[in-house]
Structure 1
Amino acid sequence: MKTLFPIIQMILAAAPQAMMRGAVLSVLVLLMGAALLGLSGWFITATGLAGIAGLGIAFDVFRPSAGVRFLALGRTAARYGEHVFTHDATLRALAFLRVRLLRRQVWLDSRALSRLRSEAVLTRIIADVDALDGVVLRLLLPAVAALATHLIVFLAIGWLAGWAIACALLAGYIPLAILIFWQLARRSIKPSDRAEKESQSLRRGVIDMIRNRQSLILDARLDDREADLLSLDGNIRKAAQQLDRAERGAALAITMLVTLVTACALGLGGWLVAQGVMGPAVGVIGIFVALALAETLMPLRRGIADYGKMAGAAKRIGYGEKEKPEKSKPKSPLCHENAGASPPVLAVRKAPLTFIIEPGEAVALTGASGSGKTSLLMEIAGLAESSGIAILGRAPADWPDSSLRDLVTMVPQRSVLLAGTIRENFNLAADVPESALWQALAAISLDAVIRERGGLDAPLGEAGAGLSGGQAQRLALARAIIRQPQLLLLDEPTEGLDEATADRVLSGIRRALPQTAILATLHRNANHPMFDRQIPLLL
């Protein structure tokens, strides 16, 4: 239960006044329901007795009937107000939670982001937040309202019909209801959590299958993938069946409990009437109130059954966890011969590969496909575990992420452009004057194309739709240029470019960044004059 406390606190704090009004109205609805049934039972019994006794004309039917109408209409109005206040407060809280969780993902450092699949993370966050919408509405609020109603009814029945009947109602409902719900939670927590996890896996699997359907068809694996998804769906159905059995069992137990408590109220009330302690009309109040109190228990059944799903979602979200302070890391030894000299921008000592790159140098890293060129760039950029690598004398893992990003910029083979204007895509990298943006575009021979499209405010579609693959790659290179890094890592920067364009792009990068150390992986154009030397990477 403690995993849900931060979520409950957040939801209650989102709109405390609205939630408090909703809680009061929830108790009022239950109390009016109990009072309505109790008053109706008393009224029916009293009028029947008055008719039998021949006192029907003298019996006052107006005030009790007015009370019945008031309670019926008031209960309807209170129920409407409860829904308005509690649902509005809960939706506000969940909207805040979604923004908070997405913002947390945005502020993760690049090392953590590299381990995340954006689709999987977004799908998980949406599903987990949706699972938490019942924490207050179906769990906390019904439980608090039920307990408060039973206590108030205990006092009212003790005053109206005697403390014997009041104690029978309280002692019959509270302990046994807690036992029933404890058993329901114990039986449902695992299948509820398992059903939620499998549902998220199925959702991600369907998204992946739709996105990769062409590859699956060409590889003749579409049927296999469909079978895997059907297996996941089967697991979800099995968990749902277990959950349904547990919930129906709890419903049966609650029904039996209501019957038992009502029978106790009937027997005790009849005995007290026979003893002359109270009249028949008062004696039946406990019976009808016992029936009305069943309304306090039924709403809890759904919330308790979903407890496993809610608790699992709260654990995965980790809302309210304190961030651990980053421990200071020792500096790595300098990876160059003369410890007294300034360290090189990049030093790599990974047997059998050993080289250094000084400011202003450009090195072409060559090798067959699969030899590990991209993996080496990822290690240098601090996006993978590394050893034998130093940037300005320190291992990438020893640099604070923000400082490392200022020093090192990497342009992967498949760069990401966002839907928006070209200027907005540049703003992701740095906030520089417009003239610097045009200089970067001119360096990679893209300025004329951008002007034809309408300039820096020309819109791009999702993933840079509207530009060709080569143009999108060059725009990513221009975005790297405006950062003016000390070390620039390029993964196949000329892939998809013709020879003339590749020559202009490489020359433009060198002119735009004369003091930057550049390491580029290449399958071709490694002999370009831009590069001071080549380093082969063998398998």
Structure 2
Amino acid sequence: MILLRAIRLLWSAAPSAMVRGAFAGVLVMAMGAALLGLSGWFITATGAAGLMGVGIAFDVFRPSAGIRFLALGRAAGRYAERLWTHDATLRALARLRVVLMADFARKPMAELRRLRGSALLVRITADVDALDGVLLRLVLPLLAGLASHALAFALLWWLVAPQIAGAVALGYLLGGAVVFARLIRRSTALAAQAETQAQTLRRQMLGLIRGQRGAILQGTLPQRAAEITQTETTLRAAHDTLDRAERNAAMGLSAVVAVLVALVLWLADGLVQNGALSPAPAALGLFAALALAETLLPLRRGVAEIGRIQVAARRILGTPIQTVATPPAPHPTARGLVVRDLTVPHPARDTALIHGLSLDVAPGKTVALRSPSGSGKSTLLDALAGLHPATGDICLNGLQLNAWPEREMRAILTLVPQRTALIGGTIRDNLALATDDSDDDQAAWNALEAVALDDVIRTRGGLDARLGEGGAGLSGGESRRLALARAILRKPMILLLDEPTEGLDAPLARRVLHGIRTALPEAAILTASHREAETQMADQTIDLQSYI
């Protein structure tokens, strides 16, 4: 079951923190039940002592101290519960984000490039938020509740009567199971529908905000607004129905508590009348039964969101995570890039893009691949970077591509794709993605100078100048050059560039290419090009038309 897989994944992230959180939850519930039970026993016992005329001899100090201890202990336990359960949840969510990124890393590069950042962010945020409730509103309260009932059963059996202990345990077990089963049956589909509509609404709103100008110019703004209104109406209706189901569950649980308390009162009255139980322990059992209602009520929200949690879990964990064996550390025997008899399949069709390609890129040399747009240059670079399947031999520094562990391969090979990937943040933040030494300002400025971007960055405020989402604030050519500067900071031995000077005029393109070669004099550089400036700067040009 997908829900159990999600629980196992989250629990394994911090099992000791989970146990601490569950223990604190049991402590809070146990102290709450003991507090109400002891208070009931104390009131009843003092009243009985007064009626018997021995009130002056009744010890009120120790029960009062016990009540104060339980009240303070419950408050401290509640604080510890919040602290430990949220610590456990944050650890689990950190693990979940790693799983999400690993899942996306396994997808083909062509699929990753089709993803829209806003839609992907909406999905990840909503899914992580949904699975947040697995621990805080479902698993930990359920474990704490079951443990509290087991402890209460043992104490009521010992201190009060087996009949009352059995009635409390059985009543809450059966009554809670019936109410929650009915809630699950009514809410699962509704919660899933509400989650789907909520994500649709977020995507529609983001799309409208981003494309507002185009929608106005094309006259589609009323239609898109109507679609958003319809989605919101459907979402609101699902939420209203879900809230009614949850309120009905609350009424059902209240009815279970009322019936159970009446049953305990009837049993206690019979035992007291028969002389099998004194009034004070009977009151303890009655108030303990009432206090144990706290173990059921917090579960309502978590149970009502099971449908939403399942939708998120299926998206995140629908494909089993495959463990790939890590190759041993490589021992390079040569330098540069060597390709022999390479065939690259089309990413979407059962045909080949490239047939029988062979090439050599020696250290310090630049080779340009030339062919019309859409003929497979980008896919070929993806294959050479290990991001797309291919048949034939690809050797990096004398070793086959599949013999390199991922980390070691990325340390010597860098691909700058045609689609620039920048993040919202400072220039320094974007450059820091390439190196662990983000404090080396001189290296950053050298890289920016190499791509003729240093003057532009200085006029914008330097390395701490902020960019918007996706690098907003820079032109297309400036964004391209910032990505190239980031690649230079990696100091790769093999550099793959997909149309590196797109959007630049010819003089600036030649200056940028010369700067890259000056900054990386020993790198083997392979470019996918269709501009004359790029092919003129290359030591060799290969026309891919012969291999298509």
TM bin (shorter chain): 0.7 to 0.9
After the TM superposition, which residues 371-382 of structure 1 pair with which residues of structure 2 at under 5 Å, given as runs? 371-382=375-386
Q: 1:81 Cα deviation (Å)?
A: 1.8
CA distance in 2, matches of 1:233, 1:413: 38
Matched, 1:461 2:471: no
Task: Identify the match of residue 521 of structure 1 among 495, 507, 529.
Answer: 529
**2:85 is aligned with what amino acid?**
T
Whether the 8 Å contact between 2:201 and 2:228 is mirrored in structure 1 is yes
What is the TM-score with the length of structure 1 in the denominator?
0.75
Matched, 1:491 2:494: no
SS where residue 429 of structure 1 aligns?
Answer: coil
Task: After superposition, give the CA deviation of every residue in 1:143-167 in whole Å (9 maximum; x if it has no partner).
Answer: 4444444445445555565433443
Matched, 1:471 2:493: no
Please, what is the CA RMSD of the aligned residues?
A: 4.7
CA distance in 1, matches of 2:160, 2:105: 69
Instruction: Call closer, same or farther: CA 1:415–1:82 in 2, change over 3 Å.
Output: same
After the TM superposition, which residues 14-413 of structure 1 pair with which residues of structure 2 at under 5 Å, given as runs? 14=17, 20-40=23-43, 46=48, 50=51, 58=53, 60=55, 73-74=68-69, 76-103=71-98, 112=107, 114=109, 115=112, 118-158=117-157, 162-275=161-274, 277=276, 287-310=286-309, 313=312, 324-326=323-325, 344-345=338-339, 348-349=342-343, 350=352, 355-359=357-361, 360-368=365-373, 370-386=374-390, 390=394, 400-402=405-407, 404-406=409-411, 408-413=413-418
Matched, 1:503 2:510: yes
Q: Tell me which moved more, 495-504 or 478-487.
A: 478-487
Instruction: Call closer, same or farther: CA 1:489–1:148 in 2, change over 3 Å.
Output: closer
Task: After superposition, give the CA deviation of every residue in 1:59-92 in whole Å (9 maximum; x if it has no partner).
Answer: 5289587788667655543442232111111222
Q: 1:100 Cα deviation (Å)?
A: 3.6
CA distance in 2, matches of 1:443, 1:216: 40
Whether the 8 Å contact between 2:197 and 2:231 is mirrored in structure 1 is yes
CA distance in 1, matches of 2:66, 2:291: 13
Whether the 8 Å contact between 1:367 and 1:523 is mirrored in structure 2 is no
Q: Tell me which moved more, 404-413 or 389-398.
A: 389-398
CA distance in 2, matches of 1:288, 1:224: 60
CA distance in 1, matches of 2:428, 2:294: 60
Task: After superposition, give the CA deviation of every residue in 1:500-534 in whole Å (9 maximum; x if it has no partner).
Answer: 22233344445655763423232564663646446
**2:483 is aligned with what amino acid?**
A
CA distance in 2, matches of 1:79, 1:16: 18
Instruction: Call closer, same or farther: CA 1:111–1:302 in 2, change over 3 Å.
Output: closer
Q: 1:259 Cα deviation (Å)?
A: 3.4
Whether the 8 Å contact between 1:41 and 1:288 is mirrored in structure 2 is no
Instruction: Call closer, same or farther: CA 1:186–1:470 in 2, change over 3 Å.
Output: same
Task: After superposition, give the CA deviation of every residue in 1:81-129 in whole Å (9 maximum; x if it has no partner).
Answer: 2321111112222333344444556678966484365545554444444
Q: Tell me which moved more, 499-508 or 434-443.
A: 434-443
CA distance in 2, matches of 1:150, 1:439: 67
CA distance in 1, matches of 2:17, 2:70: 27
For structure 1, the residue ranges without an aligned partner over 5 or more in a row are 329-341
For structure 2, the residue ranges without an aligned partner over 5 or more in a row are 328-335, 344-351
What is the TM-score with the length of structure 2 in the denominator?
0.74
Q: 1:379 Cα deviation (Å)?
A: 4.1
Whether the 8 Å contact between 1:206 and 1:229 is mirrored in structure 2 is yes
Whether the 8 Å contact between 1:273 and 1:280 is mirrored in structure 2 is yes
SS where residue 55 of structure 2 aligns?
Answer: coil
CA distance in 2, matches of 1:18, 1:351: 56
Give 1:335's aligned residue: none
Task: After superposition, give the CA deviation of every residue in 1:198-250 in whole Å (9 maximum; x if it has no partner).
Answer: 43443344334323333444444444444444454445445434533443343
CA distance in 2, matches of 1:434, 1:391: 34
Whether the 8 Å contact between 1:19 and 1:85 is mirrored in structure 2 is no
Whether the 8 Å contact between 1:269 and 1:283 is mirrored in structure 2 is yes
State percent identity of aligned pairs: 35
CA distance in 1, matches of 2:497, 2:337: 22
